[in-house]
């Protein structure tokens, strides 16, 4: 366990008590690291203005919202496309703030419900691992 924590930069305080907790912790670490790398490579958010926890919160909120609509439409959005949608929303959050982020998410979800997924959401693929 000590090696795992050192390898992935986890402190003893964050030590999960179960195998599933370890998996979730590793997944969260990979999500944060990938989005931060994408921001650096593309000279865009997320920057240090956006906390790691905020990245995870946005990831969870956006992925859940789009996947719920996909389920109701009898569709499945591939993870690589969900990842690119989340990346766009992380940028929206940092550039214009939480209020517009929430409004934009509602708008995009309603648009997806009534018209289907935007073609540009399906054209871009981001792999997190």
Query: How is the chain split into domains, by residue range?
Result: 17-123
Report the predicted TM-score, pTM, of the whole model to 2 decimal places.
0.80
What is the pLDDT averaged over residues 100-111? 97
Question: pLDDT tens, 43-102?
Answer: 999 999 999 999 999 999 999 999 999 999 999 999 999 999 999 999 999 999 999 999
CA separation for the pair 58, 87 (Å, rounded): 9
Please, what is the average pLDDT of the chain? 86
Q: Given pLDDT bands bounded at 50, 70 and 90, which one contains residue 16? A: low
CA separation for the pair 26, 8 (Å, rounded): 8
Contact 55, 35 (CB under 8 A): yes
């Amino acid at each position: 366990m000590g090696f795992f924590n050192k390898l992935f930069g986890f402190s003893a305080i964050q030590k999960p008590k179960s195998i599933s907790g370890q998996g979730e912790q590793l997944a969260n670490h990979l999500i944060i690291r990938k989005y931060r790398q994408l921001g650096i490579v593309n000279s865009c958010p997320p920057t240090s203005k956006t906390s790691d926890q905020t990245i995870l919160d946005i990831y969870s909120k956006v992925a859940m919202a789009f996947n719920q609509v996909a389920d109701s439409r009898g569709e499945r959005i591939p993870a690589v496309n969900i990842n690119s949608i989340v990346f766009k929303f992380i940028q929206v959050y940092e550039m214009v703030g939480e209020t517009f982020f929430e409004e934009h998410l509602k708008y995009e979800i309603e648009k997806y419900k009534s018209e289907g997924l935007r073609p540009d959401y399906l054209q871009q693929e981001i792999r997190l691992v």
